[in-house]
Amino acid sequence: MKLHEYQAKGLFAEAGIPTPTFKLASTVDEVVAAAEEIGYPVAIKAQVQVGGRGKAGGIKLVDDEAEAREAAESILGMDLKGYAVDRVIVEGAVDFVDELYVGITMDREAGRPVIMASTEGGVDIEAVAERDPDAITRVHVDPAFGLHPYQARRAAYGAGMDADIAGDAAKVIQTLWTLYSNRDASEIEINPLMVTSDREVIAADAVMNIDEDALFRQAELAEMEDEATGDTLERQASGVGLDYVRLSGNVGIIGNGAGLVMTTLDLVDHYGGSPANFLDIGGGARAETVKNALELVFADENADAVVFNIFGGITRGDEVAQGINEAIAAFDELPKPVVVRIAGTKAEEGRELLNAERLIVADTLEDAVQKAVNAAQEVAA
Ligand code: GDP
Ligand code: MN
């Protein structure tokens, strides 16, 4: 789960990391009121979960009320890389002389978290990593011992930060580590960590991703989930407990098991279609679950056809077929062609049970995927 900047920044500030004063606003008048309270100049920043908002026109610095109005009018309601902006934060502009980078992520190869620090903040860090890998200092952390203070200093000094700044940056890194481990974060980042003209560090931006499987013990963060999930369909899916990731293609995909769904994604691509989503309904196939899954895919206007890829294991094929039949009975009309492939235990019985008047029944996976890709192309034509 990716938090919004204002959520992450709130957590950073609460933990003691210096941040600009900021307020959330969703109307032009709220922006102006917030700016007045904070004092000009302020930065107005779109709250959508994409990077590079600045370049895309989602961040504006303003000096007075007229400029604040104009900026708020242009940012609120704008489409930023596919996301509608409905909220902004208004924050005190920073008088900065330098932009640093600090972050923590999981280094899967090393099998442990890694602290990253660089003096090349303010730009896309992936681009820095590609162009000049040595510009980023990395320090691995043994989770059994946590981050030792000397390691935080090593990261800051190793990155080449000025001596009067490195100590403060190391403190910020130490606090980030506390947040990372206490809050079950999977990624945490400040880019830029600005150096002010008074030689202080301040977090101008905030990124924090939380391990969703830890939300059961992170009550405060779980409460943020609704607002954090940007995509309405993904929010709807998580509300009914489905593993759903929205993609942008034309073929909706539903399967029982992550590997099975991934395979189907690849095959859709192989046969010239493009996956509209990842949707794993897990083991079992209660009609209710199947209906919820279908509702999601039907609601995605990019998806022109749906393919079910079901493997009967412990849940038998005939039970799944029953579940699918019951689920489609809940729809007066299927708004999109639905192709079903069942394999495994009692697959044949399942296929025979399926309502062939409303569904397209396929014998093999390849057949099912091709039928779905073709059906989607016909719908679009
Ligand atoms: P991002 O582009 O989505 O990562 O958003 P950031 O919050 O990182 O802002 C992008 C850039 O805006 C920063 O790297 C700064 O160079 C620039 N910027 C200039 N003045 C300010 C300021 O006062 N506050 C903030 N937050 N950014 C500023
Ligand atoms: Mn940034």
Tally of CB atoms within 10 A around 362? 21
- Tokens describing residue 153: 């200093």
- Tokens describing residue 108: 């899967």
Ligand 1, residue 58: give the atom nearest the CA: 3
93 close to ligand 1 (CB < 6 Angstrom):
yes
Question: Going from the N-terminus, what domains does the chain have, and what CATH number goes with each?
Answer: 19-92 (3.30.1490.20), 96-222 (3.30.470.20), 232-380 (3.40.50.261)
Whole-model pTM?
A: 0.74
Task: Among 47, 59, 194, say which to mutate for ligand 1: greatest number of ligand atoms within 8 Å of CB.
Answer: 59
Q: Ligand 1 centroid to 156 CA: how many Å?
A: 21
Phi-psi region of 92 (alpha: psi -120 to 50; beta: other; left: phi over 0): beta
The beta strand positions in 155-303, using DSSP E, are 185-196, 201-203, 207-210, 243-246, 251-255, 277-280
pLDDT tens for each residue of the chain, 381 residues long:
899 999 999 999 999 999 999 999 999 999 999 999 999 999 999 998 888 898 899 999 999 999 999 999 999 999 887 788 999 999 999 999 999 999 999 999 999 999 999 999 998 888 999 999 999 999 999 999 999 999 999 999 999 999 999 999 999 999 999 999 999 999 999 999 999 999 999 999 999 999 988 999 999 998 887 676 667 788 788 888 899 999 989 999 999 999 999 999 999 999 999 999 999 998 766 788 888 999 999 999 899 999 999 988 887 888 889 889 998 998 999 999 999 999 999 999 999 999 999 999 999 999 999 999 999 999 888
Q: Ligand 1 centroid to 121 CA: how many Å?
A: 10
- Tokens describing residue 318: 């005939």
Ligand 1, residue 94: give the atom nearest the CA: 23
- Tokens describing residue 216: 């059961």
Are the beta carbons of 191 and 103 closer than 8 angstroms? yes
Q: Ligand 2 centroid to 146 CA: how many Å?
A: 26
pLDDT digits (tens, 9 = 90+) for 146-205: 999 999 999 999 999 999 999 999 999 999 999 999 999 999 999 999 999 999 999 999
